[in-house]
Every structure is written in C-alpha cells, then in structure tokens.
Chain A
Amino acid sequence: MAYLIYALRRALQAVPVILMIMVGAFLLLKLAPGDTVDALVGDMGGADAQFIARLRAEYGLDQPVWVQLWRYLAKMAQFDFGWSYVYEQPVATVLLDRLGTTLMLMCASLFFAFTIGILLGAIAARRAYSATDNVISTLGLIFYATPSFFLSLMMIVIFSVKLGWLPVGGIRTIAAFHTGWDHVLDVARHLVMPTAALSLIYLAFYLRLMRASVLEVAELDYVRTARAKGAGETRLMVHHIMRNALLPVVTLLGLQFSTLLGGSVVVETIFSLPGLGQLAYQSVIQRDMNTLMGIIFLSSVVVIVVNFLTDLLYARLDSRIELA
C-alpha cells in the first residue's frame, strides 16, 4: 500500500515536470532557423512560392507560435501526438516503430556494460595493484577514451570488410525474408557491433566505479567483523562487499539510462539502425516538430520511470533508505 501511494504521488509530481519540458522544448525548437517546409522543399530540390505557402497553411505553420503551442498542448492532453508531415504517418506510429530497436539496443548495451563492468571491477579490486588489475584498468581507460564513432567504424573495417563475419549495418538482412529462429539470429548478428560500440564506454564507467567502491567497502568495519566471524571469501565478496559496493553503481545506471539515448544517435546513424536516436537526429534536420516533441515526451517519461525504479531499487539494496 505504501508503495502504491508513493507511486501515485510520484506520478502526480511528474505531470508539471513533463508539461514544463514540453513547453520549454517547443519554444526552444521554434528558435531554430527555418521550419519543416524549408526542409521538405530543400529535399525536393526546390518549389515555387505558391506551393510553399500552401504547405505552410496546411501544416498550420502560418499561425503565430502561441497558437501553434496551444494547439499542440490541447492535442497532447488527449494523448494525440499529431501527424508527422515528414513521414506522412501519425507520430505515435512512427515512434512505436522505432522504439523496439532502441530499447533492444539500450537494454542489451546496459546489460552487457553492467554485468561485465561490475565483474571486471570487482576482480580488479580484489587483486588491486597486481598485473591483472593493471590490465583491466588499462583496458577500461582505452574503452573510456575511444569515441564510439571511431570504435564503430574500426569494428566495421575489421569484422565486416576484412573478415566478413558481421553485417555492416541495418537491423536485418533485407530481401532474405528470414522467419522464426533464423530471423532472431539474423537480428542478433546485426546487433553485435552496435551493442559493443555503445556499451564499451559505459562498461569502463562501471568498471572504474565498481573497483573504487569495492576497495572502499572492503576496508569498512563490518567487513572486518564478517571476516572475524569466519565468513569465506566468496560469501564475504557476494554478501558483504558487492551488495554495498553496488549502491553508487546503481545510481550511475539510473542516470545513464537516459544518456544512452543520446549516445545511440551516433551508433544508430553509423549502423543505419532504425531507432529513436536516428529519428531524433533526422527530425531536427527536418524540423519535424511533432515527431521531435513526441520523442522528447517519450524520453522524459522514460527518465521519470527509470528514476522511480532506481529509488525502489535503492530501498531494496539498502534497507536503511526509506521511500518518502
């Protein structure tokens, strides 16, 4: 019950936050020079003035900004995200088409980065200042310092062009018409390089944070007490050190879930993955207001939900923290 009331209160608090984000984003986007008609006409290779005026009127872009904003908010209140004039589809359809790919990429990358990151971090901390630690820490530094676009292109050159093991881009082999498990396998093969490119930098974050955190926790009194009581190394590591060392890492995980969306723009563009990141980038270039606002809405909801889940997880990991 307490959880439910807590959740409800958080949901209510989220409404003004989202409203502020939407209004702010709308006005900011309107400050950019040119509009979607400029972009469309640019794509077309030019058009005459009559045609341009007609498009503007049809899209409602001839109205003052506050009228446009009011119309948008009125529609949004009914969960209608409008029509994308660039994609000629409802924004909700465009977003849902792309959401799956991005979520798949984000979850795979975070999962990979988180598990391998804490594992390597814990190992490095347990063998602090040994050769193993040096190798792991150096690797972490390299991952941390390599820009994802460079990593992506280098992986393409090695694994696609030279070795021919993995596909260069896309989400599946077009015109191969795979079904069933073949299809799953095909999609997985296409996600290997993007996941690696996106996760390595986060892996480095978790690794370094976990290493520092484990080193710190291992010095604390209760660990010494546990050791004095005769707890084995494994039990000590899993129950006493890891659980407590995870707290700062989980904070970072929650924070990074939202930044991952930004990072996926580059990776999605290079690997031509049809995800939200690429859609956001294209929508900015195309000044596709409705789609862009839809993405912003979706992202703010994701961030709010993830923050909420992080708070819940805190309480679970450290029973001293109370939800209030």
Chain B
Amino acid sequence: MIDRMMFAAVAAGALMATGTPVAAQDDEPKRGGTAIIHMVSEQRILNPALRASTGVYEISGKIVEPLIDKSYDGYEPVLATDWSSSEDGLEITFKLREGVRWHDGEDFTCEDVSYSAMNLWKELLNYSTTLQQYLEAVDCPDPHTAVFRYSQPMPLELMLAAMPDLGHPVPAHIFEGTDPLQNEYNTAPIGTGPFKFAEYQRGQYVIAERNDDYWRGEEYPYLDRVVWRFITDRSAAAAALEAGEIHESGFIGVSMADVERLADDPRFDVGPEGYENNVAHSTIEFNHRNEALADLRVRQAIYHGLDIDYAIETIMRGYAKPGRGPVPSTGGANYTDDVPTYPYDPEKAKALLDEAGYTPDADGIRLRLRHRPAPWGEYTQLWAEYFAQAMAEIGIEVTLVQNDAPGFLSGVYRDHDFDTANGWHQFRADPAVSTMVWLRSGSPVGTPWTNQFGWQSPEMDQLIDAAASELDPATRAEMYHQIQRRAMEELPVIFAIEHPFISVTSKKLRNHHNTPRWNSSSWYDLWLDE
C-alpha cells in the first residue's frame, strides 16, 4: 500500500539556510535590483502547459508555478501542499494551496487545475500526452482539492517526478472557451509566480516584474525584475558576461573554451550545480536497418573503439562521466551501475569486426558509415568529430553529413536516411517520461527523439510498459535496473557520456543554483549583491 507522502511544509526561506552557516552582514539578502540572464535560443511560446521544454521553463518558471517543485531535500510543495494516492493507483489527490491569486487578481482553485489537466496536459503538452493518456477526469470535491482519476494505475512516484516539468496549471478563466494553441496569453503568461510578465520583444528580450502580491509573503521575491536577453552568438555572450551586462548564462550558453576560461575568473561561479534534474546523455545512435549495424558485434566493436574518458576530458572539460545506459547516475533508486561495460580497447574492437566478417579491404577500411551529427552546438559537433576519428582507428570510415535542425530531425527520425547519428537527450526525473522512448518500439515515423532506429525487442517493450504502471517503488526500480542491463547488453543506442549542463554565474547573484532544476525554478529567493 502506498502511504500518504507527507513533507513538512518547507518554511519560506528554509532553502536559503543551507550553505554557509554564518550569516555575515553582507549575506543578509538585499531587496531590489534587476537580474539579467542570457538565453542562447528563443522559444517564443511562454506557456509551460503547452510546451514542455527547458527553454520555456527558464523564462516561464518565474511567472507560472507548478503544483510541485524539486529541492535538494525532495519534493517541495508549491501550488499543491499535499498529495496521496489510492491503493489501486487509480486516483491521485492533490490538496491545493489556499489564498493564492493569479496575476490578474482571480483566485487559484481546483477549476484551474482541472481545466489545465484535461485540456492542455492530456491533449496538447508534449511528453505529457503520453503520461496522462489514461487520465479520465479531474474532480473538484472542494475548491482546494483536485482528484485525478485514471483508467490504468498511475504510480504516485512517476506522477510526482513528472509534476515539476509537466504540472503547470494555467488560469481557466483566461483559456476557457478559446483555442489554447491560439491564445494570446501563450506569449504573455499569467501565473501565480513571484514575477509578473511585463514585456516580450521578439529576438531581443523578455522582462518580468516583481509580483507584490506573492503568496510566500511580501518579502519575496527579493529582485525587482528579471530580464532575459537573447544572444545567439556564444562569443558575444561570454563578452557580455565579462562586461557585466548579463549575470548568468545557463545550459552551456557559452563555448566550452569560455566555460574553462571563466571558471578561473574570480568574478564567476562556474559549474554543473543546479542541473541534477536536467542531466543529458551524449549518444551514438544506430540505424539497425543497416545490415552491418544490425550485428551486435559491430555495435560492441564501435563501443570498444571509443575512448570515453578522453572525450570527457577534452570535449566536456571534465564536467561529465561515462554513461551506463538509459538512466543517469542522478536517477535515484532507478539507477544501477551493475551493467556490462565496454572499456576502450581498439584491438578487441578489431577482433570483433573480424569475427563479424568485416575485414579490411585494400585501403584498410572495414566499413563505411554516413553519420549525421545533431546541430546542437559545439560539444555535440566535437563529439561527432571525435567519433569519426576514433572509428578511423579501428578501420571504420565515417563520413559526417552536416545538417541544420530540421534537416537532422527529418533525416534521422522521419526519412531514416543515416547509418549512425549523435546528439544528446535529456533525462527528465523519471525514465517513464524520458529515456524510455529511445527503446520502446512502435512510435510513429517522424516523431523526433524516439526509437526510429529500426530496433525492436518485445521483451523490452513489455518491461517498459509494466514499469510505467508498477505501483511498488522497489519493484519498479528493479524493472528499470533490468532495462538498463538489457540496453547495455544489446546496445540499441550507446548512451556514451552522461553530462550535466553548466552555468556561468556572476558572483553578484546570491542564492543561485540551490535547487536541482534551478534554471527552471521560480527564483523567489534569488538576490543581487551590488
């Protein structure tokens, strides 16, 4: 039976108390100031109930709050104060916070949650449509209780893990009776958060102003204003950091060389803290329709031919570790490192290729592959170039096919016009709402970041489905361990490098990167020391 999961309400500001124990004079939070944040790309839509993407949360997270957020101590109640599940897993009940008002003055109630869940989370929100596919209704027995009813058991653990990203209610009174996709508030969001949307100039900036009516109390937020500036050129962004024009650049928004350089600069904090919930894998993806790559020995040979530690040191500047399958080491109980591994061993790689029948031809080449690197920036490109070099050493000639984002996505995931590809994929707190799509077969052709590799395993599919609705956390974890072991044995995809993202933050910002999804969080306790 699942017990009620109760968390002592996190007293406002308790998070701040962690860190340095001695509160010196200048560690007293100061009110006021404008934090200026770098964004390397622009999502344009600012509604997190319509677009599940960190690029959206980075801005909208300050304006629209989720039911639950994540802190380093576990789940943190935000708009929901308490949650429980029925024994059969078919009902999940949230107690909602009272006395919360939307930025336009209306009360936040169960109506908003019910409307958002049924019309946006279940119907329109990417990733969430799969999560909520068995959601039948959300009942409102009173204005501050929401009961989610499912036709298939929904593990509370999965629901909680998904809520920080996929659990943002929008105001029903703004959206009801409109087409949610066309609603003008998608680019001018109304939420309950510490900052109110003020201005959005396309291609330039977004401004959010302090919400004087914030439910955590009138001392919050400390800042007057947050400004996000869109700077697509990474070198210019690094210069803006140095010139003091911006305070933070997240998600590796500057080049790796600048990350390394600014890490030695006493004016900045540089590191992967605050991304524990946003860990990603750099991958090597195979097209199993290619006869050679369908041979497990060839895939094993490729893994043995990759010096992962070298790639971590040179490309990721040490901010990463070797991957161990579809769940990263930050995955909690669902992670295991008890899996087969493939240490760097070119001789063994060559032996495996020999065994598979791919012996060197007159030019010394065993195999020729067309590789598509994802255009997701510098380190992804470098990883592709390293892959080509490493493969040359074991006699595989890799031709890089350069493409931009639409070219890559349609080339790999719709037209299947590749032999190998590489990119990175984010792990989103729970395997069921993230990396399992890499392994589960049957997703329609053209769905990006899914198993379009022509690899199919009925046992794996069965395991993935069973784990998604398994209610007992221990059994569920054991299932994910099995999935990881299988993924490492059969290598449908190589989850080569597990890496967090990196922020460069001016030391003028205080209380920064103090939660595991900090860039997406509300920043009510962030303050500026200047």
Kindly list chain A residues whose C-beta atoms are within 8 Å of the C-beta of B409: 34, 38-39, 41-42
B52 within 8 A of A: yes
Does the CB pair B126–A47 fall under 8 Å?
yes
Does the CB pair A272–B446 fall under 8 Å?
no
Rounded to whole Å, the gap between the CB of A218 and the closest CB of chain B is 45
A254 within 8 A of B: no
A174 within 8 A of B: yes
Does the CB pair B204–A170 fall under 8 Å?
yes
A311 within 8 A of B: no
B124 within 8 A of A: yes
Does the CB pair B53–A44 fall under 8 Å?
yes
| Bound Cα distance from A58 to B239, whole angstroms | 41
B71 within 8 A of A: no
0/1 interface trace, chain B 434-449, chain A, CB 8 Å (1 if under): 0001000001111111
0/1 interface trace, chain A 40-52, chain B, CB 8 Å (1 if under): 0111111111111
Does the CB pair A274–B129 fall under 8 Å?
no
| Bound Cα distance from A32 to B406, whole angstroms | 9
Kindly list chain A residues whose C-beta atoms are within 8 Å of the C-beta of B52: 44-45
0/1 interface trace, chain A 266-279, chain B, CB 8 Å (1 if under): 00011110100011
B410 within 8 A of A: yes
Does the CB pair B426–A45 fall under 8 Å?
yes
| Bound Cα distance from A58 to B182, whole angstroms | 11
| Bound Cα distance from A36 to B404, whole angstroms | 12
- A to B contact number (C-beta, < 8 Å): 161
Does the CB pair A272–B239 fall under 8 Å?
no
| Bound Cα distance from A160 to B238, whole angstroms | 11
Given the known interface contacts A39-B406, A42-B406, A175-B227, the answer about A269 and B203 at a Cβ–Cβ threshold of 8 Å is no
| Bound Cα distance from A157 to B445, whole angstroms | 47
Does the CB pair B407–A168 fall under 8 Å?
no
Kindly list chain A residues whose C-beta atoms are within 8 Å of the C-beta of B236: 153, 156, 168-169, 270-272
| Bound Cα distance from A274 to B44, whole angstroms | 15
Does the CB pair B225–A164 fall under 8 Å?
no
0/1 interface trace, chain B 401-425, chain A, CB 8 Å (1 if under): 0011111111100110000000000
Kindly list chain A residues whose C-beta atoms are within 8 Å of the C-beta of B229: 170, 174, 272
A33 within 8 A of B: yes
* Total number of A residues with any Cβ neighbor in B under 8 Å: 52
Kindly list chain A residues whose C-beta atoms are within 8 Å of the C-beta of B201: 274
Does the CB pair B411–A156 fall under 8 Å?
no
Does the CB pair B447–A47 fall under 8 Å?
yes
| Residue of B41, B130, B404, B443 touching A43 (CB-CB under 8 A) | B41
Does the CB pair B448–A51 fall under 8 Å?
no
* Total number of B residues with any Cβ neighbor in A under 8 Å: 60
Q: Nearest residue in B to A43 (C-beta to C-beta)?
A: B43
Chain B binder among A11-19, A86-94, A240-248: A86-94
| Bound Cα distance from A33 to B449, whole angstroms | 17
Does the CB pair B124–A38 fall under 8 Å?
no
A35 within 8 A of B: yes
| Residue of A38, A44, A58, A170 touching B410 (CB-CB under 8 A) | A38
| Bound Cα distance from A153 to B237, whole angstroms | 11
Kindly list chain B residues whose C-beta atoms are within 8 Å of the C-beta of A98: 203
Does the CB pair A274–B446 fall under 8 Å?
no
0/1 interface trace, chain B 49-62, chain A, CB 8 Å (1 if under): 00111110000000
Does the CB pair A175–B243 fall under 8 Å?
no
| Bound Cα distance from A286 to B34, whole angstroms | 31
Does the CB pair B235–A153 fall under 8 Å?
yes
| Residue of A87, A94, A169 touching B240 (CB-CB under 8 A) | A169
Does the CB pair A87–B204 fall under 8 Å?
no
Does the CB pair B446–A49 fall under 8 Å?
yes
Rounded to whole Å, the gap between the CB of B364 and the closest CB of chain A is 33
A161 within 8 A of B: yes
Does the CB pair B243–A174 fall under 8 Å?
no
Does the CB pair B55–A43 fall under 8 Å?
yes
Does the CB pair B448–A41 fall under 8 Å?
yes
- Given contacts A39-B406, A160-B245, A278-B232, list 8 more A-B pairs with CB under 8 A: A33-B403, A33-B407, A33-B410, A34-B410, A45-B127, A168-B239, A174-B229, A269-B232
Which 6 residue pairs across A and B have the least CB separation, nearest first? A34-B406, A49-B444, A47-B126, A34-B410, A38-B406, A33-B407
Q: List 24 A-B contacts (CB under 8 A).
A: A33-B403, A34-B407, A34-B411, A42-B406, A42-B409, A43-B405, A45-B55, A45-B127, A46-B437, A46-B449, A47-B447, A49-B443, A49-B444, A58-B181, A87-B202, A153-B235, A160-B243, A161-B239, A169-B245, A170-B205, A174-B227, A278-B232, A282-B232, A285-B405
